Structure formats: C-alpha cells, structure tokens
Amino acid sequence: MTAHKSKPDVLVVGEALVDIVHRADGSIDESPGGSPANVALALGRLGRSPRLLTAIGDDPHGQAVRAWLAASDVSVEGLPAARTSTALARLNAEGAATYEFDLDWQIKADDVEVADALHIGSIAATLEPGATAVAALLDRHRRRALITYDPNIRPSLIDDRDAVRLQALSLIGRADVIKASDEDVAWLHPGEDIAEVARRWSRSGPALVVVTLGSAGCLAVTPSVELRVPAITVDVVDTVGAGDTFMAGLIDGLLSGGALGAEARAGLESLGEDSVTALLGRSALAAAITVSRPGADPPRREDMDMVVF
C-alpha cells in the first residue's frame, strides 16, 4: 500500500459510557469506557485525532467521559443524551470481565461529514433506535472510506438473538475490515469452526477478516492470505479494552499503509502475507500493553516504539 500524505479524517461511531469495575479483591473503580470510545481513545493516543459520534449526558459521568477523551485528542460529536450510559464489569481472579449495561443510545447522523475512515461496532451497531442510523452512516461511506466493524457481541443486552445475528451479519458483509473475537464467532455461529466462519465472512464482502483468539493469538483471512499470529505473552492485569486496542492498532496500521478514502479497497486487496503479519503483530503488541495495565489504558505511539516483550 502507498502511504497517504495528508492526515486522514477518522470517524468512530458508538457508545461512550462509564465502566463501574468490581475487582476480585473487592475494590470498585469507576472509569470512562465503551468499546467504540475505547477504540477512539486508542486511535487518539496513536496520533490519529479521531472524531467520536456518540451520546453522552450532561451529568458528572458525561463530564468525566468528555475530559477523558479530550486528553487523548478525541473530539466528541452528537446530541446530548438524557443520561450517560454505564457498564458494570465484574473481574474474576484471572482478570476476565463480565458486563451488565444501563444504556441510552440514539444518534442523529444525517448531517455527519463523510470521513476517510469509519469504524462502527459493539452495542451501538445493533441497539435501536441508534442502530438504524449507524447502518445508514455505513452505507453513506461505502466505497468512499475505509469501513471497519467489530461486532463485540454483548449477549446480556440481546432479547432477539435471531434479529441481532442477521443485523450483525449484514454489517459484516458491507464492511471492508472485520475484527471479531472467538466469542463473537461462537455466538453468531454456534458450534462452527472459527477458520471456516472467517473464510465465509471473507467471501461475503470484507477484504480482511481478523479473529482474535485470546492467548492463542489471532487468525487473519483475506481473498489470498490465511495466517495465524501468536499472542504476545505478558502478565495480565485485566482484559478490559484489549480487543478495542487491537482494533485501533489494526485501523492505525491500515491508515499508515494508505488504506483510506475511496482508495481503501484497492489498498486492502493488495495486502500480502508479510503486510498482514506485520499488521497483526503491531495490533497484538498494542493489546498486550493494554492488558498489562489496569483498566482500558491503551498505549501511546511512543509506548509502542519503546516496549519490548
């Protein structure tokens, strides 16, 4: 891919909220979060200055979220929500999290400027009334931008499994890049082989499909490449934000290679084995740094350049 000279306009769309984390030792922390907001934050720390289209209340939680994002050069767009959403996360002794959500999600996207790169995902892509606006925004960006999607399925929020599954698969077929966890794949395709699902997703439209496999690393499938990259071994403090940081690393690497705007598809289709391996390795490094620290605390670019595992 050819490097792009000007700084791209990166738009992230989705929920921003406050994580209320109950740790295994009995302590409780409150911190800003939300999967798309974490992706935007990580992109901001990597120097991308993204826009985040979201819904945040004019309340103390909302003020905390706005300050958190601004400190990493993320600009917030969207109408104020009635309240700022929250997510209750319970961590086990290994640092793995389970979630309970209290959400207020809707956006107005008709007048949102088309970006060079669009990322959507998680709850915002399937929870109405905002999900319809998210899908319409994706369609406005098709063939005009790099479009990335992370299903990041939250089963505890889903009442109609079949409807959400169809919606997620529709978005998968309309995006350029998919990043999903093995848990997402298992929920969307129970009992099916992960690699075969990734191949099927690739045939449905995306130019790059990546499935993260926890400690087993990750799998990537393109029309011409299929490979696995091992995870980077670190002492895990907690896993909050790991997948979101990996997603941001993926987007950052693709943008660095020039996969943006109307040229995004051509750039993606030119990816060879070495490029995909390097892209996944860099994303895995970003995620490894994040899980080695408490909370969703993704690395800055200088951290990426300095850390050696």
pLDDT at 41: 97
- Say yes or no: domain 10-15+35-55+105-297 is CATH 3.65.10.10: no
Give the pLDDT confidence score for residue 241 in this predicted structure.
79
pLDDT tens-digit map of 45-62: 999 999 999 999 999 999
- The predicted pLDDT at position 79 comes to 84
Q: Count the neighbouring beta carbons within 10 Å of the beta carbon of residue 211.
A: 23
Domain boundaries, the chain: 10-15+35-55+105-297
Query: Poorest-confidence range of 10-19, 74-83, 228-237?
Result: 228-237
Residue 285 pLDDT > 70:
yes
Confidence (pLDDT) at 36: 97
Q: What is the pLDDT of residue 13?
A: 98
Mean pLDDT of 159-172: 96
Sorting pLDDT into bands at 50, 70 and 90, what band is 4?
very low
Poorest-confidence range of 87-91, 107-111, 154-158, 166-170?
87-91
Per-residue pLDDT for 95 more than 80? no
272-284 pLDDT per residue, tens? 999 999 999 999 9
CA gap 118, 50 in Å, rounded: 10
Three-state helix/strand/coil letters over the chain? CCCCCCCCCEEEECCCEEEEEECCCCCEEEEEECHHHHHHHHHHHCCCCCEEECCCECCHHHHHHHHHHHCCCCEEECCCECCCEEEEEEECCCCCEEEEEECCCCCCCCCCCCCCEEEEEHHHHCCCCHHHHHHHHHHHHCCCCEEEEECCCCHHHCCCHHHHHHHHHHHHHHCCEEEEEHHHHHHHCCCCCHHHHHHHHHHHCCCEEEEECHHHCEEEECCCCEEEECCCCCCCCCCCCHHHHHHHHHHHHHHHCCCCHHHHHHHHHCCCHHHHHHHHHHHHHHHHHHHCCCCCCCCCHHHHHHCCC
Task: Look at residue 8 and tell me whether its pLDDT is greater than 70.
Answer: yes
Whole-number average pLDDT of the chain: 91
Q: Residue 5: is its pLDDT beyond 60?
A: no
pLDDT digits (tens, 9 = 90+) for 193-247: 999 999 999 999 999 999 999 889 999 999 999 999 998 888 877 777 789 999 9
Tell me the pLDDT band of 308, cut-offs 50, 70 and 90. low
Burial of 104 (0-12, 13-18, 19+ CB in 10 A): middle
Between residues 294 and 261, the one the model is more confident about? 261
Q: What is the structure's pLDDT at 307?
A: 62
